[in-house]
Amino acid sequence: MDVAEPPQDGRAPSGGRRAAPWGPCRPLDGITVVSLEHAIAAPFCTRQLADLGARVIKVERPGAGDFARAYDTRVRGQSSHFVWTNRSKESLALDLKDPAALQALQALVAKADVLVQNLAPGAAARMGLSWGELHARHPRLIVCDISGYGEDGPYRDRKAYDLLIQAEAGLLSVTGTPEAPSKAGNSMADIAAGMYAYSGILAALLQRQRTGEGGHIDVSMLESLAEWMSYPMYYAYEGAAPPPRTGASHASIYPYGPFRTADGTVILGLQNEREWAAFCDKVLRQPQLAGDPRFDANARRTANRAALDAAIHAVFGTLSTGEVEQRLDDAQIANGRMNDMAGLWAHPQLKARDRWRSVATPAGPIPALLPPGRNSSFDYRMGPVPAVGEHTEAILRELGLAPVKEAG
């Protein structure tokens, strides 16, 4: 893969859209974020803040660091989860059971704009880092607590992992095949919580400009994923039958999903009756099928999907994947390739839009995608992934403090 080498300071080269001199021009330049974080939700939130220029200081346990560093060794001996969510950060290794280390953390928080934490329930409060205590001492500080279930309610003290929240939020009940539920192949609950924490912090920073006061953001994984589950919840409104598990097909729109061809599979989707008529005419070449009373509305196509599936496969089974794709394109029917990870790495659209950069890590440079959303007014930061405690000495010196104990 051809990727550009980053400048020595870790900032991304221009994406080709504009030529601008380097300088302090990102939206969050000058904002300092301290994060007591592990796993995915909080690190994904803070990495996005770093993308926009914030200084993110990641507090880790001495030695092992964030336990996500040990999830796997797939990226030059480093964790795939960790390199994804931790670029552009500084790592401060502190044993927070040591009073001197806790004092250093308090001094750091006093100078910060934002504190993010997703420790076990109650852990931050036991260190004097509850919203109430912090707001009394630092009224401009924004505090974002990320947890499985939120700071109150009967589930507040329960530990939560992504799979458990996918189950609690009902995602497993609508994902998979009729025979077996399946978890999503990515950490959807963590990602959802990280996104809402990120947007909540941006909103709090804007609000602080108006009021001069910091704010408290209480983000729960359950509530974040429940928001994303609103369509199937409403589909099952007032006791109605929930969406069935339909594999890679859509539960309530048809045809929408994977269909076999003579030599492979195509993915296609119809959204309206105009597209259904074009599909029958130009793809199936059976224009009379559009008016068949079994199929002349989406609800009836969904109810009679077995019969329609047989009609589609009777045609597709005689055609190659390329021939079906050409017919779909000619009819302006949305379709896509069922890529694996190798296909995504090599996706021609990502290459054509110059989305890849090179990011430094302790084990050498790796390719990394620019954040979504090409922006004409600034360049995203694409800085190095830190080693555990790489910046401890420099940060403590900046605070005027002596080195602290690093026993894990």
Q: Catalytic residue positions?
A: 190
Name residues whose C-beta falls within 8 Å of residue 63's C-beta, 6 or more positions apart in sequence. 93, 388, 406, 408
Phi-psi region of 288 (alpha: psi -120 to 50; beta: other; left: phi over 0): alpha
Q: Are strands 265-269 and 216-220 parallel, antiparallel or unpaired?
A: unpaired
- SS3 labels along the chain: CCCECCCCCCECCCCCCCCCCCCCCCCCCCCEEEEECCCCHHHHHHHHHHHCCCEEEEEECCCCCCHHHHCCCCECCECHHHHHHCCCEEEEECCCCCHHHHHHHHHHHHCCCEEEECCCCCHHHHCCCCHHHHHHHCCCCEEEEEECCCCCCCCCCCCCCHHHHHHHCCHHHHCECCCCECCCCCCHHHHHHHHHHHHHHHHHHHHHHHHCCCCEEEEEHHHHHHHHCHHHHHHCHHHCCCCCCCCCCCCCCCCEEEEECCCCEEEEECCCHHHHHHHHHHHCCCHHHHHCCCCCCHHHHHHCHHHHHHHHHHHHCCCCHHHHHHHHHHCCCEEECCCCHHHHHCCHHHHHCCCEEEECCCCCCEEEECCCCCCCCCCCECCCCCCCCCCHHHHHHHCCCCCCCCCC
CB hemisphere CA count around 149 (13 angstroms): 13
Tokens 């070449």 found at? 285
- The distance of Cα 270 from the centroid of its chain, to the nearest Å, equals 27
